[in-house]
Amino acid sequence: MHLHILGICGTFMGSLALLAREQGLTVTGSDANVYPPMSTQLEAAGITLREGYRAENLAPRPDLVVIGNALSRGNPEVEALLNLGLAYVSGPQWLAEEILPGRRVIAVAGTHGKTTTASLTAWLLEAAGLAPGFLIGGVPRNFGVSARLGAHDAPFVVEADEYDTAFFDKRSKFVHYRPEIAVLGNLEFDHADIFPDLAAIERQFHYLVRTVPGKGQLLVADDEPALDRVLAQGCWTPVTRFGREAASPWRLVLERDDASRFRVIHQQGQGAESVDEDAVVDWSLTGTHNARNALAALAVAHSLGVDLARGAASLARFETPRRRQELRGEVAGIQVIDDFAHHPTAIAATLEGLRAATPCGRLLAVIEPRSNTMRLGTLRDRLAASIAASDAVFWYQPPGLDWSLTPVLEASPVPARLEQDIDALVAVLVEEARPLDRIVVMSNGGFAGIHDRLLAALGVAHG
């Protein structure tokens, strides 16, 4: 069978391609932007990539076309497949119909932290010998790929995105997955290009809750008012809370300020019959947000039979997914770190975690506001405050950003600079950086390969 995927270099669609290839299907795909890490892992799997959308990409005629949610009417390849009468389906529907039936599905949802939490969950199950399948919106470095089938009778972990499904299906992707266990990690406003307000996103999360069976489990973060409103719309599944509140059955206690060491307390039972078990996690990640992600993953793994102590010990061997606090290189004591943060809350959390873990040297933030929500300017009033934990910030105004970042610089609590040219930005960073500095680059796109360009320029300057 020949499967052709439109938007194949997106994290979700590229992962689908890997699963289809593992099933033995012939897989091709096209995309407007082809860049690592997704392009490299697809090529390594023997998948033919075609840059640009055109009718010729549909020859030879595929048996089925899977359409990514970035594609819309008017796209030349979409118009061609409709005119040719080709069979087509959305990515989430293909996953639900071809991969998930018969599997114990764990869906990880939330505005932030989905990729890390899903990667943590898959790793804990793998370390326990369960050989899980997974589809993750990034590349977990413990596995080296963003998706795999896993053992046929093993759990399947899926990063459950609230973004819409396709141009012909405007429901959130996650309503297709029918999980037995759903993790709701957090919820705030995002995706301003498709949701008018937070209430609209809460409604989609409610639809996800409706699909979880009564014999299943909802693992829900505490201290999240929006998630409380979701559950208030109706819930038919046992709810287990996790977080830092004393009443939560899964509780986190920091033992280091940077959250590189923390204690997990699990309360089993209620009242006089309750019993606590605990374990300490000592790992390479920083930030309270990552510790909460790990707490959720430990709770999932425990519900699938993984002992808490064993799970906590396994986290010492967890490697961050690609582009999540990923150290890309170091030159003359200057570190260049890549992070996917693109929402003010995620930017602040990333910087706060790195700040606590940077006792010497400065933390320099480099940010490209590239996401659809950022391009619309919906959250721009929160950007200045989001970088308070850094020592200085360097903003890049990408093409297509139709509003000025100047007011963000004027409101900045730390020294701020704006550049509109990548080469100029690299030059400024090389001039500014000194040994022991950590430069964290944040964007949800390729950022014109700035990481490698910066490392190369630092090598020349300090060589």
Q: According to DSSP H, which parts of 215-255 are helical?
A: 225-232
Estimate the crossing angle of helix 288-303 against helix 114-127, to 10 degrees.
Answer: 40
Q: Which residue has the tokens 């869906």?
A: 107
Q: Are 434 and 411 in contact (CB under 8 A)?
A: no
Rounded Cα distance, 234 and 57, in Å: 45
Which long-range contacts (C-beta less than 8 Å, at least 24 apart) are formed by 405-409? 405/369, 407/380, 408/380, 408/383, 408/384, 409/384
Token output for 73: 């009417």
Q: Please give the annotated binding residues for ATP, written as ranges.
A: 110-116
CA distance 265 to 246: 10
CA quadruple 170, 173, 178, 182: dihedral sign: negative
Asked if 364 and 394 touch (Cβ cutoff 8 Å), the reply is yes
Rounded to the nearest 10 degrees, how much is the dihedral formed by the CA atoms of 9, 115, 220, 289? -140
Annotated binding site: 110-116
H or E segment and range at residue 314: helix 308-314
d(CA 295, CA 130): 19
CA distances from 392 to 236, 355, 362, 427 (A): 48, 12, 8, 16
